[in-house]
Amino acid sequence: MRDELLRQAKRVVIKIGSSLVASRETGLSAERIERLAGEIAEVRAQGREVLVVSSGAVVSGIKKLGLREYPKSLPLKQAAAAVGQSLLMWAYEKAFERLTLRVAQVLLTHEDLADRRRFLNARHTLTTLIKFGVIPIINENDTVAVEEIRVGDNDTLAAQVAHLVDADLLIILSDVDGLFTVDPRKDPTASLIPLIPEITKDIEQRAGMSSTFEGTGGMATKVRAAKKVGEYGVATLILNGTRTRLLPDVLSGQSGGSLFLARERRLTSRKHWIAFTLRPRGHVQLDQGAVEALVRNGKSLLASGILDITGHFDAGDPVTCAGPDGKECAKGLVNFSSEILARIKGLKTADIQKIPGLQEYEEVIHRDNLVIL
């Protein structure tokens, strides 16, 4: 199953970690980028479409600006990103030009992905570049992003790009071999797990956090990314990008890395967008009857099943839903603002219809805009 899946993957998103292309001491590694570009060219020669999500801009900028430590303030980090992004893109441009391949820079923020119109525009841009044989080099737009519009880390960004372009496979290149049974730095008996059919609680607990200066994520962010794209039907392969030729060799059928399989039941693009791209603006607590209607029977959410609400949100905003025990069970786009919902919670539809000016929808969240978590 593993070999067949890897061989058949046509559209591939490759995420390149910061530690592979830059360090605080030496700055950007043009030699490493040239080697990775050559391997990506081999992947292209296998008949695949490739998009690259590359970290490394901030770390490259730190060296260029002569900073002694990772910037703590947002303006300093954005300055480092601005300096480093141009260096990073120029290195990719030169490396791929030697291979007669064209590249394009694409910078995204969470706001670009959270707005459905901008999400679709980004999809059209990327797919058009692919049709022209151009390799998109994608990064978060750190020079303008503040906390509210940041994706957070490039493992998450890569997962969202895989969804954005309907990829067949997400490959995360890092400085680790994959997911192990235990932490190999602490236990010499640790063994690599080559195939993970399902991301269980046990698998999530095995994922530790990175302690390197260059990385903002770790195995935990990689497993979360694999879980997100798995819901959309995309498998994830974690590989050690420091090992020469491992990328094209594994895609040709050789052993290496950890492959996370996707779920057979695939969410639609819209529902995956609701579940994993949008950030909730509020929270709705439901009674047990409403939870069962949503989870077991596939019904829409009605006001009669709502016990309480928290947060301030407008109609059309994403909210999470939880049962009486506080456990989240669903997420969706709400049809009423928090002010109106506070007035109609617990009421039956017939009673809401008697209130002038309030009855616009029968459902608080329609099942077409609702995702079971």
Please tell me the distance from the alpha carbon of residue 22 to that of residue 25, in angstroms, as a whole number. 9
pTM: 0.80
Nearest residue to 58 via CA among 43, 73, 37, 41? 73
Report the pLDDT value the prediction gives residue 301, as an integer from 0 to 100.
Answer: 96
Q: Percent of the chain beyond pLDDT 90?
A: 61
pLDDT bracket for residue 178 (50, 70, 90) = very high
**E strand or H helix at 250:** helix 246-251
Q: Percent of the chain beyond pLDDT 70?
A: 93
For range 225-254, the mean pLDDT: 94
Tell me the binding residues for ATP.
15, 174-175, 216-222
Residue 271: phi and psi, rounded to 5, are -70, -35
Q: Mean pLDDT lowest for which of 67-71, 161-165, 312-316?
A: 67-71
Please tell me the distance from the alpha carbon of residue 253 to that of residue 192, in angstroms, as a whole number. 17
On the question of pLDDT at 149 being above 60, the answer is: no
On the question of pLDDT at 356 being above 90, the answer is: no
Query: Tens digits of per-residue pLDDT, 89-120?
Result: 999 999 999 999 999 999 998 888 888 889 99
Please tell me the distance from the alpha carbon of residue 249 to that of residue 282, in angstroms, as a whole number. 47
Tell me the binding residues.
15, 55, 142, 154, 174-175, 216-222
Tell me the binding residues for substrate.
55, 142, 154
pLDDT bracket for residue 152 (50, 70, 90) = low
On the question of pLDDT at 153 being above 90, the answer is: no
Pairing verdict, β 22-23 and 27-28: antiparallel
Report the pLDDT value the prediction gives residue 290, as an integer from 0 to 100.
Answer: 96
What one-letter code names the amino acid at 137? I
Which domains can be identified in the chain, with CATH numbers? 2-271 (3.40.1160.10), 280-372 (2.30.130.10)
Report the pLDDT value the prediction gives residue 111, as an integer from 0 to 100.
Answer: 87
Report the pLDDT value the prediction gives residue 22, as an integer from 0 to 100.
Answer: 86
Q: 24 or 304: which carries more pLDDT confidence?
A: 304
CB 341 within 8 A of CB 314: no
Residues 6+ apart with CB under 8 A from 57: 80, 81, 84, 85, 87, 88, 139, 142
Report the pLDDT value the prediction gives residue 75, as an integer from 0 to 100.
Answer: 86
Please tell me the distance from the alpha carbon of residue 341 to that of residue 301, in angstroms, as a whole number. 12
Tell me the CA distances in angstroms from 319 to 33, 109, 322, 330, 365, one per residue in order.
42, 21, 10, 9, 9
Helix, strand, coil share (%) of the chain residues, nearest 5: 40, 20, 40
Please tell me the distance from the alpha carbon of residue 163 to that of residue 232, in angstroms, as a whole number. 7
CB 300 within 8 A of CB 366: yes
On the question of pLDDT at 306 being above 90, the answer is: yes
Of these ranges, 64-78, 148-162, 247-261, the one predicted with the greatest mean pLDDT is 247-261
CB 17 within 8 A of CB 176: no
On the question of pLDDT at 125 being above 80, the answer is: yes
Q: 240 or 143: which carries more pLDDT confidence?
A: 240
Report the pLDDT value the prediction gives residue 150, as an integer from 0 to 100.
Answer: 52
What one-letter code names the amino acid at 313? F
Report the pLDDT value the prediction gives residue 98, as an integer from 0 to 100.
Answer: 96
Report the pLDDT value the prediction gives residue 147, as an integer from 0 to 100.
Answer: 52
